[in-house]
Amino acid sequence: MRLGLRYYYGFTQALKDYQGAHNSVFMLSFGIPIIAKKKPEKVSSKP
């Protein structure tokens, strides 16, 4: 399972009408594995 958080503060203006405005965003990502691999069994070398 994974969890991520990212903040982006952009320096480009999307529209010329909004002087001094910047693009900023919080991005949250969350991942759940769908198929888990089983661990291989240990092979014993004893007879």
pLDDT-based confidence at residue 5 (cuts at 50, 70, 90): very high
Q: Is the pLDDT score of 1 beyond 70?
A: yes
Average pLDDT over residues 8-21: 68
Selection from 37, 15, 11 nearest residue 24 by Cα? 11
Q: Are the C-beta atoms of residues 3 and 33 closer than 8 Å to each other?
A: no
